[in-house]
């Protein structure tokens, strides 16, 4: 293990030590503080989504459903997408974040340089913020083409069927398998891509976010089909992404979902064409 070399410095011994010591500590205050912070961030994000959905139900939403959108509308839409991605993806990053936190705690206990775990999470969130901007632009285009309903769902059966079909096929691609394997192996990622210092922590978070986005981006696009603010589907997709990342047999679950999405998309397209 110590023969492995990282671009930023020798981390593997600390990974192994952190995991070993953690298993013998039933209560770790630092770990609970970090987990609690992530839980609060997730909870506040979900609370905002429910509040925003309530505003939409009262037709008092900040983004008009008809007419052209201004810069203010696009800004508020990007805020909504960003908060939604935080609500959905921060819980799925918990295993990687907690592993990073264990390593930093071990380094601190051994009087070695350490950085706040929040910097790693910041890098991760920045990637999903960039994705949110892209999703905002995509929704703007769909709205301008009159392909979005007042409920923020696609009105085109062909577009919806194509998205579902593409998402299902993607579940079987090498890129999906590779990205999912990365997300399911926090220790392997940290051993292979460790970087020292604050910028290193942010860079590692950015890389993890990019790979995670590569794994899940089409699943997020499914929201254009079922409804961007359909919180039931937001919760379903969140639970699925978490399950395929953390439970035993997550790869098989991803394949099962792929079959279901292909069938669903093909059925919608067949109905639209016939």
Chain Cα centroid distance, residue 107: 28
pLDDT-derived band at 102 (thresholds 50, 70, 90) equals confident
Q: Distance between CA 87 and CA 14 in Å, rounded? A: 31
Q: How far apart are CA 84 and CA 94, in angstroms?
A: 16
Mean pLDDT across 206-214? 96
Sequence ranges of the domains in the chain: 12-273
pLDDT tens-digit profile of 139-151?
A: 988 888 888 887 7
Q: What is the mean pLDDT of residues 153-163?
A: 91
| 118 contacts 205 by C-beta, under 8 angstroms | no
E strand or H helix at 224, and its extent?
A: helix 223-226
Strand partners, 217: none
pLDDT at 133 over 50: yes
- Confidence class for position 1, pLDDT limits 50, 70, 90: very low
Task: Please give the mean pLDDT across all residues of the chain.
Answer: 85
Q: Which residue has the higher pLDDT, 151 or 137?
A: 137
* pLDDT tier at 168, thresholds 50, 70, 90: very high
* Whether the predicted pLDDT of 21 surpasses 70: no
Q: Which phi-psi region, left, alpha or beta, contains residue 185 (left: φ > 0; alpha: ψ -120 to 50)?
A: beta
Report the range of poorest mean pLDDT among 4-8, 107-111, 113-117.
4-8
pLDDT of residue 196: 85
CB 75 within 8 A of CB 221: no
């Amino acid at each position: 293990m110590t023969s492995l070399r990282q671009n930023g410095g020798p981390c593997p011994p600390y990974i192994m030590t952190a995991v070993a010591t953690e298993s013998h500590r039933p209560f770790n205050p630092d770990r609970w503080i970090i987990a609690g912070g992530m839980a609060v961030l997730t909870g506040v994000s979900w609370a905002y989504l429910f509040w925003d959905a309530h505003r939409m139900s009262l037709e008092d939403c900040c983004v008009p459903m008809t007419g052209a959108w201004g810069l203010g509308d696009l800004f508020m839409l990007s805020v909504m997408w960003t908060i939604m991605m935080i609500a959905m993806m921060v819980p799925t990053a918990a295993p990687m974040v907690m592993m990073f936190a264990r390593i930093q705690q071990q380094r601190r206990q051994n009087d070695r340089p350490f950085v706040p775990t929040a910097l790693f999470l910041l890098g991760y969130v920045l990637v999903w913020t960039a994705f949110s901007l892209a999703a905002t632009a995509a929704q703007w285009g769909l709205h301008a083409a009159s392909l979005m309903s007042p409920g923020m769902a696609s009105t085109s059966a062909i577009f919806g069927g194509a998205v579902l079909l593409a998402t299902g096929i993607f579940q079987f691609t090498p890129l999906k398998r590779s990205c999912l394997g990365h997300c399911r192996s926090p220790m392997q990622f940290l051993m292979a891509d460790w970087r020292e210092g604050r910028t290193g922590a942010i860079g590692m978070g950015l890389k993890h976010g990019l790979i995670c986005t590569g794994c899940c981006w089409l699943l997020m696009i499914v929201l254009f089909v079922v409804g961007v603010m359909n919180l039931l589907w937001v919760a379903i997709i969140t639970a699925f992404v978490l399950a395929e990342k953390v439970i035993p047999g997550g790869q098989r679950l991803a394949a099962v979902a792929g079959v279901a999405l292909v069938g669903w998309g093909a059925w919608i397209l067949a109905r639209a064409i016939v």
